[in-house]
Amino acid sequence: MTQLEQARQGIITPRMQEVACKESLDVEYIRHGLETGTIVIPANMNHPHAEARGVGKGLSTKVNANIGTSSDFIDLDTELNKLDIAIQSGADAAMDLSTGGDLPHIRRTILQRSTIPIGSVPIYQAGVQALKNHDAVVKMTEDELFDAIYDHCRDGIDFITVHCGVTQRVISLLKQQKRITDIVSRGGAFLMGWMLYHLRENPLYEHFDRLLDIAREFDVTLSLGDGLRPGCGADATDRAQVEELVTLGELVQRSREAGVQVMVEGPGHVPLKQIEANILMQKRLCQEAPFYVLGPLVTDIAAGYDHITSAIGGAIAGAAGADFLCYVTPSEHLSLPNVEDVKQGVMASRIAAHAADVAKGVAGASERDRKMSIARKKLDWETQAKLALDPEKVRQVHEQHHTSGKACSMCGDFCAMQLVSQHLDIDMHKC
């Protein structure tokens, strides 16, 4: 039985216990969230050594790190280093998006090593193989696509991105309204190419029940991909994007009815003032299914710094109700990220997630800020380091200049907090 099916029967599983403990919440709250579909626990039966992470309503905002090879850069060791640093930096999940090299071997090695849930996009494997076997991505057969999905699920992948909402109607809306960047989702592009070539409906939509059967067998969480996510601010919240979301809402309901855990993916590039509306729309159309957003990026011109662009959008999205932030690294739009990029990406997303948690009132979030601020007032540097998101970084930056007193080298002898303490204390004493 899936976690969802068990929740329905009132069963508390060890995974639910684990999540309740991590979130400092009652386990009945977690069970109820699973039952109603507002919470998912992506945990494949065949990936038992990964820790459980809950994603959804009332839980802390989670962070995902994308790793994986490309056809231009294939080195498994580098990808494993990225996985390690993502976990060390506090990522809650990672996705193996490999498209270069021996994909099954890479996937299995990552799954074996990972102590956090792993997601993937199975159509990449089907597309890469089709290019090899049939000389064109679009020549993949439906069976090859579903076989790739089955392989990923059987291997232990905890959540899979499936672009089920890229329908012929969506494509006609895309052609009608026009866009600057058309489709920027690789999975979405594979499917659209296939549909235009074969003049057929999206097999993942047409045979959604076949997908549900596979997911249920291993308790894989479906992550309904947004193949139409906008690739630039000018394309955001257009008819193609919203039509896809309407369809994803229908599929959320069908997944739940089938006992399959499901979440929904979202944009992308979205101007700041459109973010809240996008979150509200997803929550309404998809009956409060957990929302997993990529960014959103609030401007298109910050290439080289898109971890920051994305932290801005992610914090606003999280505060408005997004549950899961996919990181963006400084290399986004330009290059496959390196190991240091992965760390920068995770840290930026964790800042966004925590700022959102403070805004959402997630248990313990403000309290950690309060403790940090008390340590800051006391000029207690070691406690500040321990409470910070990146203790090592705090120690290293604090020591980059010599300090003559207790205050840091920014203010030296003229630390405001130190000055005020002296005078307020004397004054209070006088009263």
Residues of this chain, 91-110, that bind a second copy according to CB under 8 A: 99-100
User: Which position among 6, 120, 161, 331 is part of the footprint of a second copy (CB under 8 A)?
Assistant: 331
Question: Are the CB atoms for 387 and 365 separated by under 8 Å?
Answer: no
Binding marks (x or -) toward a second copy, 159..198, rule CB under 8 A?
Answer: ----------------x----xxxxxxx-xxx-xx--xx-
Instruction: Decide: is 397 part of the binding site for a second copy (CB under 8 A).
Output: yes
> Which span (21-29, 55-63, 154-162, 385-393) binds a second copy, by CB under 8 A?
385-393
Instruction: Decide: is 232 part of the binding site for a second copy (CB under 8 A).
Output: yes
Question: Are the CB atoms for 317 and 356 separated by under 8 Å?
Answer: yes
Task: Closer to a second copy by CB, 58 or 231: give it.
Answer: 231
CA atoms of 78 and 64, how far apart (whole Å): 18
Instruction: Decide: is 295 part of the binding site for a second copy (CB under 8 A).
Output: no
Kindly give, in sequence order, each residue whose CB lies less than 8 Å from that of residue 267, ignoring residues fewer than 6 positions away: 226, 229, 230, 236, 241, 278, 293, 294, 295, 296
Kindly give, in sequence order, each residue whose CB lies less than 8 Å from that of residue 35, ignoring residues fewer than 6 positions away: 4, 7, 8
3-state secondary structure (DSSP) of residue 95 = strand
Question: Are the CB atoms for 371 and 359 separated by under 8 Å?
Answer: no
Task: Closer to a second copy by CB, 6 or 384: give it.
Answer: 384
Q: What letter would DSSP give residue 103?
A: H
Question: Are the CB atoms for 148 and 122 separated by under 8 Å?
Answer: yes
Instruction: Decide: is 131 part of the binding site for a second copy (CB under 8 A).
Output: yes
User: Which position among 88, 112, 133, 373 is part of the footprint of a second copy (CB under 8 A)?
Assistant: 373
Task: Closer to a second copy by CB, 11 or 272: give it.
Answer: 272
Question: Are the CB atoms for 286 and 243 separated by under 8 Å?
Answer: no
Kindly give, in sequence order, each residue whose CB lies less than 8 Å from that of residue 53, ignoring residues fewer than 6 positions away: 19, 22, 41, 42, 62, 92, 93, 116, 117
Compute the least distance from the CB of residue 235 to a second copy, in Å: 8
Compute the least distance from the CB of residue 328 to a second copy, in Å: 11
User: Which position among 33, 290, 330, 345 is part of the footprint of a second copy (CB under 8 A)?
Assistant: 330
Instruction: Decide: is 307 part of the binding site for a second copy (CB under 8 A).
Output: yes
> Which span (49-57, 88-96, 214-222, 412-420) binds a second copy, by CB under 8 A?
412-420
Kindly give, in sequence order, each residue whose CB lies less than 8 Å from that of residue 248, ignoring residues fewer than 6 positions away: 164, 165, 224, 226, 264, 285, 286
CA atoms of 187 and 97, how far apart (whole Å): 11
User: Which position among 147, 276, 300, 380 is part of the footprint of a second copy (CB under 8 A)?
Assistant: 300
Nearest by Cα to 131 from 100, 159, 153 = 100
Compute the least distance from the CB of residue 203 to a second copy, in Å: 16
Instruction: Decide: is 67 part of the binding site for a second copy (CB under 8 A).
Output: no
Instruction: Decide: is 321 part of the binding site for a second copy (CB under 8 A).
Output: no
Instruction: Decide: is 240 part of the binding site for a second copy (CB under 8 A).
Output: no
CA atoms of 125 and 147, how far apart (whole Å): 10
User: Which position among 7, 34, 348, 362 is part of the footprint of a second copy (CB under 8 A)?
Assistant: 348
Compute the least distance from the CB of residue 65 to a second copy, in Å: 14
Instruction: Decide: is 76 part of the binding site for a second copy (CB under 8 A).
Output: no
The beta strands (E) that lie in 7-126 are given as 39-40, 55-56, 62-67, 93-96, 118-120
Kindly give, in sequence order, each residue whose CB lies less than 8 Å from that of residue 77, ignoring residues fewer than 6 positions away: none
Instruction: Decide: is 33 part of the binding site for a second copy (CB under 8 A).
Output: no
User: What part of residues 132-151 is at the interface with a second copy (CB under 8 A)?
Assistant: 137-138
Task: Closer to a second copy by CB, 233 or 259: give it.
Answer: 233
Instruction: Decide: is 429 part of the binding site for a second copy (CB under 8 A).
Output: no
> Which span (56-64, 81-89, 160-168, 227-235) binds a second copy, by CB under 8 A?
227-235
Instruction: Decide: is 411 part of the binding site for a second copy (CB under 8 A).
Output: yes
3-state secondary structure (DSSP) of residue 399 = coil
CA atoms of 194 and 205, how far apart (whole Å): 13
Task: Closer to a second copy by CB, 11 or 180: give it.
Answer: 180
Strand partners, 73: 70
- CB-neighbour burial class of residue 45 (10 A; exposed 0-12, middle 13-18, buried 19+): middle
> Which span (79-87, 154-162, 216-224, 305-313) binds a second copy, by CB under 8 A?
305-313
Compute the least distance from the CB of residue 287 to a second copy, in Å: 25
Instruction: Decide: is 427 part of the binding site for a second copy (CB under 8 A).
Output: yes
Instruction: Decide: is 359 part of the binding site for a second copy (CB under 8 A).
Output: yes
User: Which position among 332, 339, 345, 382 is part of the footprint of a second copy (CB under 8 A)?
Assistant: 332
